[in-house]
A = this chain, B = another copy of it.
């Protein structure tokens, strides 16, 4: 019996010479008790080191005190992970801390679509789903069961129905494009990923509207996220096959690193001949000296946890928190010339 700390509400009641009801009321500031009794109970509880059993409380209140974190990009990969991705450690670590600050626990929920999932997996108070794609089966499942949920990154099609927080993809994209432009580049190519999540979709849209506004012919390439640096090299080959761009903005850091390498091999100088920037900071961009965005996963996680907590307790503040955009911070490095 690992869970039981041994001391129950009954022990406290006995010690304080009152009923268990009195104990419950005293400790939760409910009911009508004289201040004297309240104090006596508190003292007894403290002396015994009493902590109400979570499970019993959960059974009664139908509230677990725990949130689930579903990291979609990880589910896709099984238990192996592409190297260099520290984003998710930062995100989940921050989420766990933010949850703890609210007196909640955070559970890592691995792929819910696999048939026998662990028992607790669907019994939590609410779920954070990161980067859902179009028609994401997990989102569908949670919606069907009517379980509270927020997404990190909008659900591309159902964002009206599901509260979300996200990186400010539109703003970030424009900011980065302006940074590149301020370095003198005019023809700026854009390399996005192929996953159908809001991160890709919103940035692409922002790029198009920026091009339209500035009278620039858009040059868009989509490269699978999983293609890594090689995908970047290939993108470079295709971009430089035609009218060479003066700058390239990549969403994925590894693509950017691959492009950089390919260009160097062609004898092009960065940033003198070409500027390069990436939307997500990772070890690749850091070690290659590529200007990138810090997407601030810990701020994002904190916002998501706060929102979900409000949602689960029908707190009206949920309305304000919904749609929070976390602005990325440009980290200027040697691959760009301009100022932000």
Contact = CB atoms under 8 A, between A and B. Distances in A.
Interface of A: 1-5, 51, 53-59, 62-66, 69, 71, 74, 78-81, 83-86, 88-90, 92-100, 103-111, 114, 116-126, 145, 147-148, 281-284, 286-288, 298, 301-302, 312
Given A283-B283, A287-B287, A93 B65 contact: no
A108 B96 CA distance: 6
Given A74-B93, A107-B108, A99 B118 contact: yes
B90 A116 contact: no
Contact of A119 (B98, B105, B106): B105
Given A81-B89, A83-B286, A284-B287, 20 more contacts: A2-B126, A3-B124, A5-B145, A54-B120, A65-B118, A65-B119, A74-B89, A79-B90, A80-B94, A80-B298, A81-B90, A81-B93, A83-B281, A83-B283, A84-B86, A88-B93, A103-B118, A104-B118, A105-B118, A105-B119
A148 B119 CA distance: 20
A94 B123 contact: no
Contacts of A64: 3, 55, 120
Contacts of A312: 2
B103 A106 contact: no
A308 to B, nearest CB: 11
Q: Which 3 pairs from chain A and chain B are nearest by CB? A: A283-B283, A287-B287, A79-B97
Number of copies: 2
Contacts of A4: 62
19 contacts: A1-B62, A3-B64, A51-B122, A65-B119, A71-B93, A79-B298, A80-B90, A80-B94, A83-B86, A83-B286, A86-B89, A93-B110, A100-B110, A100-B114, A100-B117, A105-B120, A282-B283, A284-B287, A287-B288
A4 B86 CA distance: 36
B120 A2 contact: no
A20 B166 CA distance: 47
Contacts of A5: 122, 145
A2 B96 contact: no
Contacts of A148: 2
Contacts of A57: 119
Contacts of A301: 79
Contacts of A96: 79, 108-110
Contacts of A58: 3, 55
Nearest to A98: B79
Contact of A2 (B62, B88, B93): B62
A94 B80 CA distance: 7
A85 B78 contact: no
A253 to B, nearest CB: 10
Q: Which of A63, A66, A93 has the most CB of B within 10 A?
A: A93
- In this complex, which of A58, A120, A284 has the most chain B Cβ atoms within 10 angstroms of its Cβ? A120
